[in-house]
Amino acid sequence: MIRDPETARLLVETVHQFVTETLIPREEEVAETNAIPADVVEQMKELGFFGLTIPEEYGGLGLTMEEEVNVAFELGHTSPAFRSYIGTNNGIGSIGILVDGTEAQKNAYLPRLASGELLSSFCLTEPDAGSDAASLKTTAVRDGDHYVLNGTKRFITNAPLASIFTVMARTSHEIKGAGGISAFIVERGTPGLSFGKPDHKMGQKGALTSDVIFDNVRIPASQLIGGVEGVGFKTAMKVLDKGRIHIAALSVGAAERMLSDALAYAMERKQFGQPIAEFQLIQAMLADSKAEIYAAKCMVLDAARKRDEGLNVSTEASCAKMFATEMCGRVADRCVQIHGGAGYVSDYAIERFYRDVRLFRIYEGTTQIQQVVIARNMIRAARG
């Protein structure tokens, strides 16, 4: 549901230009330094990148889901670390507050997230609770006007930099599973809150993750999202429904970038007296990739439009995330193959992208979790 096609087109054009002229030339620097350069962060703030999805009344651009995926396609054309830096404020780090927070919580945090003054993180995963998110063990015990949090969260994106954390914790042991979970906003600097060393990841250098450790972290009861206990798991699932469409869009963008690099290489590289792009076995890999990217893009746009219409998109979000991320993995593999030996050394971006995109099939719900969500929804609908 694009609200104003001309404004939306201009925004996508601006992002495209910024990605092409500013971000792509800095990719290697990000991979080497494992950080987003400070001047790039400043430029992203000026362009409003931290508040793309935050409503205008809180200082953001208030993009619809369709507008957001069009921007994500563009951001996918460069290293995922850039998107990751702004991704939590536009997604998993702000959506919980936006969809279920009180007006006071929204006013306290959303404007500062939109401007990029604060970075945010989403703390769901734990050492023993990944796919089975409802089994999380972190506790939040009510003590007068406060809650006291204890536990460890794992692989938390932007944790080393974030100022606020949306934390899912168990407020009731009597209510087993999802119903005993509540969501909180915890501020950096609260006594008892500490962080593990940044994880050494296979790829996505520059996108930092670490453990977040809660040791008797005492927070005011007013930090309970929405002021209601027991609905934190549902908040997390709503956050992920949206996040999954976004990751699917990003996968489409990354696949487009890899394919464009592989096409350029195939048209340039000569073997047997002609560019390898003239060989039909190379053409098959190019064509299969093109068609699969097109299919994924159509799915992402359809899921985004349905969400904008207010429909429940749990199934569509999981279908799009599963298909687009798996597609992206297949495209990455073919594009390395097209590059041949050059695809296995770091002189070409494809070697880095091959490692970077591997994460898409894992985070915000593995492919196998998307399959579970899709099939369960089918069975539920069939039962009526």
Q: Rule CB under 6 A: is residue 168 a binding residue for ligand COS?
A: no
Q: Rule CB under 6 A: is residue 125 a binding residue for ligand COS?
A: yes
Q: For residue 198, what is the DSSP state? A: P
Q: Rule CB under 6 A: is residue 373 a binding residue for ligand COS?
A: yes
Q: Rule CB under 6 A: is residue 240 a binding residue for ligand COS?
A: yes
Q: How far is the CB of 123 from ligand COS (least distance, A)?
A: 9
Question: H-type helices in the chain, by residue range?
Answer: 5-18, 27-33, 38-46, 65-75, 80-90, 95-100, 103-115, 232-268, 280-308, 314-339, 349-356, 367-383
Based on CB atoms, which residue is closest to ligand COS, 105 or 158?
A: 158
Based on CB atoms, which residue is closest to ligand COS, 9 or 380?
A: 380
Q: Rule CB under 6 A: is residue 178 a binding residue for ligand COS?
A: yes
> ∠353-72-156 over CA atoms, to 5°?
70
Q: How far is the CB of 5 from ligand COS (least distance, A)?
A: 30
Over the range 346-371, which residues count as b (16 or more CB within 10 Å of their CB) and which as e? eebbbbbbbbbbbbbbebbbbbebbe
Cα–Cα distances in angstroms (integers) from residue 150 to residues 167, 195, 222, in the given order: 11, 13, 18
Interacting span for ligand COS (CB under 6 A) from 20-28, 110-118, 119-127, 161-169:
119-127
Handedness of CA 260, 352, 44, 107 (dihedral sign): positive
Size of the site for ligand COS (CB under 6 A): 23
Q: Rule CB under 6 A: is residue 234 a binding residue for ligand COS?
A: yes
What size, in residues, is the chain? 384
Do 177 and 228 touch, CB atoms closer than 8 A? no
Based on CB atoms, which residue is closest to ligand COS, 131 or 283?
A: 131
Residue from the set 67, 241, 256, 316 that interacts with ligand COS by CB under 6 A: 241
Active site residue 364: yes
Binding site for ligand COS (CB under 6 A): 92, 122, 124-125, 131, 133-134, 177-179, 233-234, 237-238, 240-241, 314, 363-365, 369, 372-373
Which positions are catalytic? 364
